Amino acid sequence: MYCKGQLGELQRDLPLFKQAGFGVAAISYDSVAALHDFAVRKGITFPLLSDHESLVIRSYGVADRRYRKLSQLDVDSSGEVPVYGLAYPSVFVLNPDGTVRWRFVSEHEELRLTAGSILARSVGQFPNQSPTPLDAGKIHLEIESTETFAGLGSRLTLGLELRIPVGWHVYGPQVGAEYHGTSWHMDASECFIDGDVDYPAPRWAHPAFAESKLPEYEGTIRLTREFVIVPMLSDMKSAILERFRKSCLDSDSRLHASGAFEFQVCSDRECLPPESVPLMWSFAFVPPDRTRVPVDLWRVFDH
């Protein structure tokens, strides 16, 4: 049911993928008829490919290893489905010569890269989300996200863009304790997990007052980190979704993530006092799509 959300996101961002020069296609073990029902219901226009006997899924090495012939899985309240030959949720971004440019295979069945994060990683820039500027004194600071909404198990990318005026710099995180390096932390939450910060490489400069070289950032830089909404539905029960709603969402069904960005702005002659800017991201929550195809199109144990 999480996959269906990802396919909807890909459809939403399809013009951006096309504009960037990428084709988009998705493969599953579903029948042509089941895919047709879904494509019509959700308005999917890129190819959903039927690999009913999982031959291509196996040739890419992404058939879920846990399942054997006649393995079945209890899905919500609608009964058991055959899962032999099922694919791990995977993304392969291919170069025009057919080699794998980058890939992400999720062994955890509820973990999905969002379409925005696939696009950001493929194109090297965030999709058309409007960044939020923050008051950060001398520097211009904007918070970004590859998505403005998220579901359980969504893996998206958060960003901070810093524009530092000419003649000034901030220090990289590698700078010693005598200086205030940039630091981005997120407040702990049971609702999401944040990844390591990806800092760009600093310029190592040797100012007259320092004994050794110092890592500096100048101009415009972007820091990013991965961000996963905790997937709690391993047993896919409605009660667990309700628990998530109670503990993680506000009355408008939004999830909030907060943190702080710390830095110090210096020139060759002076340093301004260190600053700490509060950060806040907010996402509209998208519940899992529980709609199934009509019963006569359900997969049966025929392999």
Partner 1 sequence: MGVSAYAATVPTWMQDASGIGVAARAKAPGFELPDSSGRKHSLNSLMERRGLVLVFFRSADW
CA distances from 15 to 18, 23, 36, 49, 267 (A): 5, 10, 21, 20, 43
Which amino acid appears at position 3 of this protein?
Answer: C
Among 173, 189, 267, 286, binds partner 1 (CB under 8 A): 173
Residue 169 binds to partner 1 (criterion: CB under 8 A): no
| Nearest distance from C-beta of residue 253 to partner 1, angstroms | 24
Residue 187 binds to partner 1 (criterion: CB under 8 A): no
Residue 221 binds to partner 1 (criterion: CB under 8 A): no
Site for partner 1 (CB under 8 A): how many residues?
91
Among 160, 168, 170, 299, binds partner 1 (CB under 8 A): 299
Q: Are 112 and 106 in contact (CB under 8 A)?
A: yes
Nearer to partner 1, 42 or 138 (CB): 42
- What gap in Å lies between CA 215 and CA 223, rounded to an integer? 15
* Phi (first) and psi of residue 171, to 5 degrees: -90, 145
- What gap in Å lies between CA 52 and CA 29, rounded to an integer? 4
Could you give the string, one character per residue 227-246, with x where binding to partner 1 holds by CB under 8 A and - elsewhere? -x------------------
| Nearest distance from C-beta of residue 243 to partner 1, angstroms | 20
Residues of this chain, 59-118, that bind partner 1 according to CB under 8 A: 59-62, 65, 75-76, 78, 81, 86-96, 98-109, 111, 118
Where does this chain touch partner 1 (CB under 8 A) — which range of 13-21, 242-250, 251-259, 267-275?
Answer: 13-21
Residue 57 binds to partner 1 (criterion: CB under 8 A): yes
According to DSSP, the β-strands at 275-285 and 254-263 are antiparallel
Nearer to partner 1, 238 or 253 (CB): 238
Residues of this chain, 118-157, that bind partner 1 according to CB under 8 A: 118, 122, 155
Nearer to partner 1, 123 or 140 (CB): 123
Q: Are 156 and 116 in contact (CB under 8 A)?
A: yes
Residues of this chain, 248-277, that bind partner 1 according to CB under 8 A: none
- What gap in Å lies between CA 240 and CA 56, rounded to an integer? 34
| Nearest distance from C-beta of residue 273 to partner 1, angstroms | 22
| Nearest distance from C-beta of residue 210 to partner 1, angstroms | 18
The sign of the CA dihedral 54, 59, 63, 69 is positive
For helices 32-42 and 2-19, the axis angle rounded to 10 degrees is 70
Residues of this chain, 22-51, that bind partner 1 according to CB under 8 A: 22-30, 32, 34-39, 44, 47-51
Q: Are 297 and 198 in contact (CB under 8 A)?
A: no
Can you read off the two tokens belonging to residue 85?
Answer: 């030959």
CA angle 30, 33, 38 (to 5 degrees): 75
